[in-house]
Each structure stands twice: as C-alpha cells, then as structure tokens.
Structure 1
Amino acid sequence: MKLLRTLTLLLTGLLFSLSASAQKTAEPVAYRLVDSVGRPVTFDKIITRAAGADVVFFGELHNNPISHWMQLRVLEALQQRKGKNLTLGLEMLEADIQLILDEYLAKTISPKSYGDEARLWPNYETDYDPVVYFAKDHGLRVIATNVPRRYADLVNRKGLPALDSLSAEAKRYLPPLPIAFQSTEQSAGMFAAMGALVHGDKKKEKRYLEEAQAIKDATMGYRISQHLHPQHTFLHLNGSYHSLQNGGIIPYLRRYAPKTRIVTITTVLQEDVQALEEAYRGMADFILIVPEDMTRTH
C-alpha cells in the first residue's frame, strides 16, 4: 500500500509538471533579422555586407522604435569598421538646411538654434537625434538629402514642369532637370489610393502626387551621388517606401552613379516574427521583422 501511494504521488507530480510545461508562456521577441528570402541572418553578417557597400539604404517605419534603435546600432557598428570613412544621410533633413546642419555638427551654433531653424520632424528628438548626435560625436559627415518641402509642394500642385520656373539659386537644391520620371506599378497603386481621397481632376492630381514623390527620390539620389568617396560607405535613412525592391531613390542614384554598390535593409511588421511572410520576400537584401503590436514612437 505504501509503495502504491508513493507511485501515485510520483505520477501526479509528473503529470502536473508536464501540464505546467505545456502551458509555459512564449518568450517575447522584439525583432528578427532575415535575408531577402527569409533565412535567419546574423547582425555581423549584415554589417560585413554593409561595410563593403558604397551606399546602404535602411528603410524604416517612421514611428517604429525598433527601426530607429537598429539604425543606431548599424551606424555604431559601421563606424567601428569604417572609422571616418562613413557618411550619414537622412531623408528627414532637407537640402537647404545643410549649412545649418554643418554649423551644428561643428558646434558653431547651439542645439537650440539648430532646432529652431532646421525644420525638424516632430519625432526628431526621440528618433533621429541619437544618430545625428552619434555622428557629431565621432566627427562623421551628415548630409541632408531631401528636397526642400516647398518644392515638393509646388510639384504636388502644378507638376514637375513648375520647377523650370525656379531661380538658379533655388535649383541648387534640386537634381539636374528634367528628372527621368516614370510611373511605376508600385507608386501608381499607392497614389491611386491617395488620389481617391481628393476632388477635382483625379488623374492629374494623382500624377502630381507621383511626381512630388519622384522629385524627393531624385533629389535624395542626386545628393547621395554627390557625396560618395572611394572606400567610404554612405548610410542613408529613409522611409521604407523609398528603397523597397530597389525602387524609389535607387533608380535615380544609379543614373547619377551607375557603378554604386548598394545594400538595402527594410522593416516590416508581422503578427508572428518567426518566419518571413511570402509577401515580403525580395523586398530588400536584409529584412528587420518587428511584431505588429510593437509600441509606436508617435
């Protein structure tokens, strides 16, 4: 009887242990890094590829904290490999504030003056100041790559030909005109949805939306091309749309600098980060998968 009671207790304990094990809570995962077809990849491998490139495009989701955290980690790792042979460029800074940016990096003007005059994005302090500050602290060049927004707005209202009326001084902040604009299936789909929200001549307004996007991409491509140097790497931070599937900025950059070696990184949201969804395959050389329920920075 005593032996039976002992066996019963042991079996009960074992069953309880198995039940508890089966109910164990899954470990939270903040991100996963994979290559273009979804194979797991190490951070070190990404940095090795990036350090051998002329330009690295890191496509972010503007309000995603993991995107911004990983951008800083990539910048730090590249700086360890490249030293001062590294340039940082940002879509979030416009070409006509380059002097202000240079003065801030050189500590000629105060952070307050920089903030007052540089037309910074509302989320700059949390999301972009860390990378710019790192570059400043390590003596790296930072390039404001985007078109001044007033000219993007001009194109949005009147189309690309309106840029021809600008002064020679204004055109200093633009790529050579006319740009080689061609509507793509990707942009057409995106802007068709946007065009459905506006009134008037939908076809014309949709095209102007596409052209406004194109002048941004062309300007960023041209600005990057003007700051490439042998043995240097240019890390460019931009919204993921601007470099998905080697589109957006990249065709323009290849026009201005055809032999440029490019590596792309992009960010996607998935309910489950364990495996890359089929729809995201081929979006970039490397893909940062982030949970859909990740908190937002704004």
Structure 2
Amino acid sequence: MKKLFIILLMLPLFTQAQNKDYRIYAVAKQQEITVSQLVSELKQADVIFFGEEHQDSIAHLLELALLKGLHQQQPKVTLSMEMFQTDVQPILNEYLQDLISEKNMIQEARAWSNYKDYSPLVAYAKKQGIPILAANAPSRYTNRVTRLGLQSLSQLSEDAKAWLAPLPIDTLTGAYYEKFVSLLGGHSSLGSFQLYQSQNLWDATMAWQLATHKKLQQQQQILHINGKFHSDERLGTYLQLQRYAPQYKLQTISCMPVEAYPPPAWQQWQSIADYIILTQSATID
C-alpha cells in the first residue's frame, strides 16, 4: 500500500527535471532532460527501443509516461513488447478488441508472472486503440535451439516458421557474441554457443516483427520495450532491425536502477544508447 501511495504521488512529477526517483540524460547533447523533452526529441524516430531491467518499477512508470506522450504527439503509434510471444498475437488482439476477458488473455497469452507491472501499458493501449505487437519468439522454439542449434528449426512446419524471423538467422558474431560470453562468465562451449543462437533467434524475431509491422504501417511510430541487453550498445535486436530495414531511424533508451546517482559518464554512455535513464527503484519499499 505504501508503494502504491508513493507511486501515485510521483506521477505528476514526470515532467520535472531533478526528480529524485529518476534522471533522464540526452547523451549527444550532454544534458539532463524531462520526459516531455524526451518525447519531443523522439518525434522523428521510426522505432524507439526502451531497454529496461524487468523488475524496475520506475522504468515501468516511465514507459507509460513515454507512451502517453508519444501518442499525444503522434496518434499513430504502436506498442511493441518482448513480454508477449508472436503466436499469441491473435489472443492479444481479441483482448484489445474487448472480445475476451483480461483473465483469459493473461492465461492464454502466457503473460509474464509480473504482468501487473505492464498491465497499465496494455490498459492504456486498449483504451486508446493503440496496436500492441507481440514481438518475442515462442519459447518452445528458442528452447529447441538451445538444445539442438539453429539448424534444427529447418524441421519445423511452414506454419511454425511463420512465427519466427526468416531462416537462416544471422548470429551476429563479434561484439555481441563477446558480450554474451562475458555475461556467462567468459566460458565458451558448444552449449553456450547454442544458447547464444537462441538469443539471436529471440533478437531476430523481435526485429522481424518490428520491420514487418513498420512496412505495413508506414505512418506508425513504434515504441518497443525489451530487456536492455537486447538493445544496449545498439546490438542484438537493434542491429538485427538495421539489417532487415536500414532505412528506418532508430533511437535507443537504456534504463537502469542505481543506488546513488553518479556523475554523467558521457563518453561511456555514447556507446550504450542515445538516452540514459537512471532510476532509484530500490529506494521504494
């Protein structure tokens, strides 16, 4: 109850700079900015990546504030979410069209266990008629790749392949691979490479969904929400989308919780994202 009360008090503050619960930095300009300034600066972007830590409560509130701002600025906007898998798109659409209950949608669309953190985004999109893109690859196929490698996808039916990025999938060897191996502790093996292949299936499928939707809906600006590993350093899903659709203007946001605000690290941040958001979610009990 205390947490809800604090969050409600915070909502009017999302347009103010120097908010104690978050800070937004425009890296190229080397300036701290407000949410409203961020919305304005993103006006010309085709696809906006919001990279989050999935348990960051302030990030979820900022995502909602950003979606509202983008929608008010440009009504033709789409919300894309890692949190839903491509094969549940029909179910998600039925919920958005008010054909099924939220309870059924949560169960049958395999919503994440912390769906309550994302439900305000979905509720706003539903109320405003904003499309939601179920962007993630079905876990049964990423699991298959982890066990058997990318080549095993060739045995799937054409109907099954339709839920995934087209084969073959680029495994983005180089910086992204080194980053992934480092995350695993620096130990490369056949098992870790197949896990890396499944990561690329994940990334490529999200990117393919973005590219396909944007091609069909040229006027739609897309806000895509994913874990920050998928888009930080303009790798992963970001780089896959560049390969599928190099003509689109992409902007990246990397949001991360911190215990205390450090001095801006402009040079380091340049390689991470166009906008850095620091939050103090851990300070809210």
Q: TM-score range by the shorter chain?
A: 0.7 to 0.9
Q: In 1, are the aligned partners of 2:92 and 2:105 still within 8 Å (CA)?
A: yes
- 2:81 matches 1:93: no
Note the C-alpha offset of 1:276: 2.3
2:99 to 90, 98, 108: 108
Could you give the per-residue CA deviations for residues 244-268 of structure 1, whole angstroms, max 9, x where no partner exists? 1111101211222110111111112
Note the C-alpha offset of 1:113: 1.1
2:113 to 99, 102, 122: 122
Compared CA separation, residues 52 and 193, structure 1 to 2 (3 A)? closer
Q: In 1, are the aligned partners of 2:21 and 2:281 still within 8 Å (CA)?
A: no
Compared CA separation, residues 295 and 184, structure 1 to 2 (3 A)? farther
SS state of the match for residue 108, structure 1? Answer: coil
- 2:25 matches 1:34: yes
Compared CA separation, residues 295 and 206, structure 1 to 2 (3 A)? farther
**In 1, distance between residues paired with 2:111 and 2:264?**
34
SS state of the match for residue 176, structure 1? Answer: coil
Note the C-alpha offset of 1:291: 3.1
Note the C-alpha offset of 1:193: 4.5
Q: In 2, are the aligned partners of 1:31 and 1:288 still within 8 Å (CA)?
A: yes
Q: Which residue of 1 aligns with 2:192?
A: 206
Q: Aligned partner of 1:62: which letter? A: H
Q: In 1, are the aligned partners of 2:77 and 2:221 still within 8 Å (CA)?
A: yes
- 2:54 matches 1:62: yes
- 2:208 matches 1:222: yes
Q: In 2, are the aligned partners of 1:276 and 1:289 still within 8 Å (CA)?
A: no
Q: Which residue of 2 aligns with 1:4?
A: none
Q: Which residue of 1 aligns with 2:6?
A: none
Q: Which residue of 2 aligns with 1:286?
A: 275
**In 2, distance between residues paired with 1:288 and 1:28?**
12
Runs (4+) off by over 6 Å: none
Q: Which residue of 1 aligns with 2:13?
A: none
SS state of the match for residue 180, structure 1? Answer: coil
Cα RMSD for the two superposed structures: 2.0
Q: In 1, are the aligned partners of 2:51 and 2:231 still within 8 Å (CA)?
A: yes
Could you give the per-residue CA deviations for residues 224-243 of structure 1, whole angstroms, max 9, x where no partner exists? 11111333200100001111
- 2:224 matches 1:233: no
Larger Rg, first or second structure (1 or 2): 1
Q: How does 1:142-291 map to 2 (within 5 A)?
A: 142-194=132-184, 203-228=189-214, 229-273=217-261, 275-277=263-265, 279-291=268-280
Q: Which runs of 5+ in 2 are unaligned?
A: 1-17
Q: Which residue of 2 aligns with 1:136?
A: 126
**In 2, distance between residues paired with 1:176 and 1:93?**
19
Could you give the per-residue CA deviations for residues 110-163 of structure 1, whole angstroms, max 9, x where no partner exists? 1111112011111001x1111011000000111100000000001111111111
1:74 to 35, 48, 66: 66
Note the C-alpha offset of 1:182: 2.3
Q: Aligned partner of 1:231: which letter? A: Q
Matched residues, number: 264
Q: In 2, are the aligned partners of 1:195 and 1:206 still within 8 Å (CA)?
A: no
- TM (norm. structure 1) is 0.83
Q: Which moved more, 1:183-192 or 1:165-174?
A: 183-192
Compared CA separation, residues 46 and 134, structure 1 to 2 (3 A)? same
Q: In 2, are the aligned partners of 1:92 and 1:120 still within 8 Å (CA)?
A: yes
Q: Which runs of 5+ in 1 are unaligned?
A: 1-26
**In 2, distance between residues paired with 1:70 and 1:222?**
26
Q: Which residue of 2 aligns with 1:14?
A: none
